[in-house]
Amino acid sequence: MNPIAFNLFGIAIRWYGILIATGMLVALIIAKINSKFLNVDYDKFIDCALISLPFGIIGARLYYVIFNYKLYLHNPIDVLNIRQGGLAIHGGIIFGILAAYIYSKRRRINLLTYLDLAAPSIVLAQSIGRWGNFFNQEAHGGEVSKEFISKFPEFIQRGMFIDGKYYHPTFLYESIWNLITFIFLMFIIRYIITKRGKIFFIYILLYSIGRFFIEALRTDSLMIGPFRTAQIISVIGILISIIYLISNRGKELY
C-alpha cells in the first residue's frame, strides 16, 4: 500500500493529506446545503469555521503528541510533521468547539445553532478522513485470520496485510459507522422538527457509541494507565449527550 499519491515539484503528496482536505471541502458543501434547512447564515458559519478549523487541527495534533510524547523527545521537530498521520479527533473537536465558543461570545451568536449545522459535516469528514488511515496502514485492529479478512474486498485485504499478517480494518468500521450517523443526522434535519442543540448532541452520542466499541479492537490506542483514552472520552460524551437530550426536551425550536 503506497501512502504517496504523487510527487509535486519534488514534494511527496500523501493520500492522508488529500483525504483530510477532501473531507473538509465536502463538509463545507454539506453545511451550505443544510444552512437553508436550519435557517443559519452560511457566511457567518464560514467565518466561525475558518477560525475553528486551524485550532481544531492544532488540538488534534497536540492531543496525539501529549499521549505519545516519548516519540518526540529526541526529535521534537517531528511534532510539526502531520503528513504521516497523528491527528486525534477528540482533541480536534475539543479545541474546535473552544474556538467556536470564543467566537460566538464575541459576535453574540448562538453557538448551538452553528454546532448543529456543523455536526453532519464533521462526521462525514471523519468518514472520509478514516481512509487516510487506510493508506498509512494505521488505526487498524488486532491480527485476524485470512478466512476472516477474505470476506472483505480484495483491496482491503491487501491494505490490511502488514508485515506478513492480516489485521482488523477498524478504519473501515468507523468510516461506515460515521457514514450511517451522517445519513441519520441529515434525515433529522430534513424531516424532524428538533430542538436547538439536539443535532449536535445526537452526533456526539452516536459517534461516541461507535467509537467506544471500535476502539476496543484497535492496537494503537492512546492510553491513560490501563484505560483507553478514546473509550473514556466516549463514555463522557455519551453521558453528556444523554443528559442534554433529556433535560432539553422542552427547549426552543428552530
Report the relative pairing of strands 165-167 and 161-162 from DSSP bridges: antiparallel
Task: Give domain status of residue 215, yes or no.
Answer: yes
- The pLDDT, as a whole number, for residue 42 is 95
88-147 pLDDT, tens digit each: 899 999 999 999 999 999 988 899 999 999 999 999 999 999 999 999 999 899 999 999
| CA dihedral for 220, 222, 224, 227, sign (positive or negative) | negative
Task: Give domain status of residue 57, yes or no.
Answer: no
As for how many domains the chain has, the answer is 1
Task: Give domain status of residue 179, yes or no.
Answer: yes
- The pLDDT, as a whole number, for residue 253 is 55
Task: Give domain status of residue 146, yes or no.
Answer: yes
By C-alpha distance, which of 120, 104, 141 is closest to 200?
120
CA angle 236, 240, 242 (to 5 degrees): 120
User: Does residue 137 sit in helix, strand or coil?
Assistant: coil
Query: Which residue positions in the chain have pLDDT lower than 50?
Result: none
Residue 27 belongs to domain spanning = 14-40+112-247
Task: Give domain status of residue 225, yes or no.
Answer: yes
Task: Give domain status of residue 6, yes or no.
Answer: no
- The pLDDT, as a whole number, for residue 103 is 92
Task: Give domain status of residue 97, yes or no.
Answer: no
Task: Give domain status of residue 151, yes or no.
Answer: yes
- Whether the model pTM is above 0.85: yes
